[in-house]
Amino acid sequence: MRDRGWIYSGLGLFLILVTYPFWQNLRAGVTSKGPDLRRPAEAKQCVMPVSYMRTSHMDLLASWRENAVRDGVRTFQSADGQTYNVSLSGTCITQCHASKEEFCDRCHNYASVSNYCWDCHVDPRQAHGSAR
């Protein structure tokens, strides 16, 4: 009986915490607009259909990596018959998506994906030494 103050404070704290996303988003004026991506200017067609890339581009990169590093297969033939060089920095970033920051990173920040690939691989457009 004398514990009601404690119980109601605890319950109040719990309710505030579980509804935190609601009022935090309302307060910050967040919308469900999604990330603002810079799409490639010249290239019209990705190596795979967009719907596949949206969900599974890491699968493709994983198989590229596997094939290149383990089996020495350094070319990739897309469904429409075109042949690409297997290279994360060379093909994906340099050849098509002009900017890693405005494409990969914006999306990954939005979904809180940390890409450890860039611990080693570089974005060739970035100044030397600061590639990450």
Partner 1 sequence: MELTSLIAVAIPYAAIAIFLIGFSYRIVRWSLSPVPFRIPTVCGQQKSLPWIKAGYLESPWTRMGVVARMALEILLFRSLFRNTRAELRQGPKLSYLESKFLWLGALAFHWSFLVILLRHLRFFLEPVPAFVGAIEAADGFFQVSLPVLYLTDVVILVALGYLLARRIWNAQARYISLPSDYLALALLIGLAGTGVIMRYFTRVDVIAAKQFALGLATFSPVAPENLGVMFYAHLFTLSALIAYLPFSKLVHMGGVFLSPTRNLANDNRARRHVNPWNYPVKVHTYQEWEDEFREKIAAAGLPLERQ
Q: Which residues bind ligand HEC (CB under 6 A)?
A: 37, 54, 57-58, 61, 64-65, 68-69, 86-88, 92, 97, 103-104, 107-108, 111, 113, 115-117, 119-121
Residue number with CB closer to ligand HEC (16 or 113): 113
Q: Name every residue whose Cβ is closer than 8 Å to that of residue 113 and which is 6 or more positions away in sequence.
A: 107
Residue with tokens 């920095």: 89
C-alpha to C-alpha distance for 71 and 51, rounded to whole angstroms: 28
3-state DSSP percent of the chain in helix, strand and coil, to 5: 50, 5, 45
Q: What angle do CA 108, 117, 45 make, to 5 degrees?
A: 65
Interacting residue with partner 1 among 13, 15, 16, 73 (CB under 8 A): 15
59 binds, among ligand HEC, partner 1, none (CB under 5 to 8 A by kind): partner 1
**For the chain, first and last CA: distance in Å?**
58
The interface partner of residue 50, options being partner 1, ligand HEC, none and the CB cut-off 5 to 8 Å by kind, is: none
Q: What is the binding site for partner 1 (CB under 8 A)?
A: 1-4, 7-8, 10-11, 14-15, 18-19, 21-22, 24-26, 28, 30-35, 51, 54-56, 58-59, 61-62, 107, 109-114, 116
